[in-house]
Amino acid sequence: MERLLDLALQQASSAEVFEASSESAVVHFEANKLKQLENRQSTTVALRIVRDGRIGFAAASGAHEPDKLVDMAVETSSYGAEALFDFPGSSVLMGPKTYDSRIVELETDALIEMGTDVIERVTSAYADVQCEGLVSISAGMVRILNSSGLDVSSRKTSIGAMMEGVRISGTDMLFVGDSVSSGELLPDVRLIADTMLAQLARAAELAHIETGTYPVLFTPHGVDVALLLPLAVAYNGKNVLEKSSRLAGRQGEQVFTPALSLWDDATLEGRPTTSPFDAEGIASRRVPLIEAGVVGEFLFDLQTGAEAGMATTGSGRRADARSQVRPGMSAFVVGEGDTSFGQMLSSIEEGLVVEELIGAGQGNLLSGDFGGNVLLGYKVERGKIVGRVKDTMISGNIIDALSRNVVIGNDTRWVGGNLRTPSLLCDGISVSSKGGDE
Partner 1 sequence: MSLCPSLERWGTIIGPRPFPGVLMRDRITEALQNHGADYVEVRYEERTTTRVSYRGRKLEDASLSSDSGGCVRALVDGGWGFASFNDFEALEESVARAADDARMSAGEALSLPEREPFEASAVSMPARNVNDVSLDEKVSLLSEFNDIIMSSPRIQSSSINYGDSGRMVRFAASDGTYIEQKVPDLSLRLTAIARDGEEVQQAGVSLGSVGDFGAVQSLHDQAQDVARRAAALLDAPNVKGGEYTVVLDPILAGVFVHEAFGHLSEADLVYQNPQMRELMWLGRKFGSQNLNIVDDATLPWLRGSYAYDDEGTPGQRTYLIREGELVGRLHSLETAARMDEEISGNARAISYRHSPIVRMSNTFIEPGGVSLQDMLADIKEGVYVKDWYGGQTSMEMFTFSGGEAYMIRDGQIAEMLRPVVLTGNVFTTLERIDAIGDDLDMNQGGGCGKGGQSPLPVSNGSPHIRISRCIVGGK
Contact 397, 367 (CB under 8 A): yes
Site string for partner 1, 277-316 (x = CB under 8 A): ----------------------------------------
For 118, which DSSP code?
A: H
Write the interaction track for partner 1 spanning residues 14-53; mark x where CB under 8 A is met and - where it is not.
----------------xx-xxxxxxxxxxxx-x-------
Q: Measure the CA–CA gap between 139 and 270, rounded to whole angstroms.
A: 14
Q: Which of 395, 403, 410, 412 binds partner 1 (CB under 8 A)?
A: 395
Sign of CA dihedral 232, 233, 236, 240: negative
**3-state SS class at 96:** coil
Residue 279 CB-half CA count within 13 A: 26
Question: Residue 69 or residue 217: which is nearer to partner 1 going by CB?
Answer: 69
What residues does 425 pair with on adjacent strands? Answer: 217, 407
- Taking alpha carbons only, the member of 179, 138, 176, 137 closest to residue 161 is 179
By the rule CB under 8 A, 243 interacts with partner 1: yes
Judged by CB under 8 A, the stretch of 56-64, 95-103, 200-208, 401-409 that binds partner 1 is 56-64
**Residues 126-155 close enough to bind partner 1 by CB under 8 A:** 128, 130
Give helix 2-9 / helix 66-77 axis angle, nearest 10°.
40
Q: Report in angstroms how near the CB of residue 132 gets to partner 1 at its nearest.
A: 9
Binding of partner 1 by 173 (CB under 8 A):
yes
Report the C-alpha gap between 417 and 63 in whole angstroms: 32
**Min dist. Cβ of residue 124 to partner 1 (A):** 19
Q: Under rule CB under 8 A, which residues in 417-436 are in contact with partner 1?
A: 430-435
Count the residues of the shown chain that bind partner 1, applying the rule CB under 8 A: 80
Q: What string marks each residue from 191 to 220 as x (binds partner 1 by CB under 8 A) or -?
A: --------------------x---------
Q: Residues 275, 98: contact at Cβ < 8 Å?
A: yes
Q: Least CB distance from residue 317 to partner 1, whole Å?
A: 14
Query: If DSSP codes are grouped into helix, strand and coil, which group holds residue 130?
Result: strand
102 binding partner 1? (CB under 8 A)? no
Give the up-direction half-sphere exposure of residue 344: CA atoms within 13 A in the CB hemisphere: 26
User: Which residues within the stretch 63-82 sit at the binding site for partner 1 (CB under 8 A)?
Assistant: 63-64, 72-73, 75-76, 78-81
CA distances for 280 relative to 39, 89, 302, 318, angstroms? 29, 11, 8, 10
Q: How far is the CB of 434 from partner 1 (least distance, A)?
A: 5
| β-bridge mates for residue 34, sequence order | 29
404 binds partner 1, rule: CB under 8 A? no
Q: Least distance to partner 1 from the beta carbon of 218, Å?
A: 16
Q: Which of 6, 194, 242, 411 binds partner 1 (CB under 8 A)?
A: 242
Does 124 engage in binding with partner 1 (CB under 8 A)? no
In the set 375, 389, 408, 415, which binds partner 1 (CB under 8 A)? 375
What residues are paired with 16 via a beta bridge?
48, 146
Cβ 66 to partner 1, closest distance in Å? Answer: 12
DSSP per-residue string spanning 224-277: HHHHHHHHHHHHBHHHHHTT-STTTT-TTSB-S-TT--EEEES--TT-TT--SB
Q: Which residues lie closer than 8 Å to 14 by C-beta, 6 or more apart? A: 49, 50, 86, 87, 146, 147, 148
Interacting residue with partner 1 among 244, 251, 340, 403 (CB under 8 A): 244
Question: Per rule CB under 8 A, is residue 161 in the interface with partner 1?
Answer: no
Residue of 169, 252, 309, 382 that binds partner 1 (CB under 8 A): 169
Select 130 or 153, whichever has its Cβ closest to partner 1.
Answer: 130
* Cβ nearer to partner 1, comparing 47 with 260: 47
Residue 390 binds partner 1, judged by CB under 8 A: yes
Of the candidates 59, 83, 103, 415, which one interacts with partner 1 according to CB under 8 A?
59
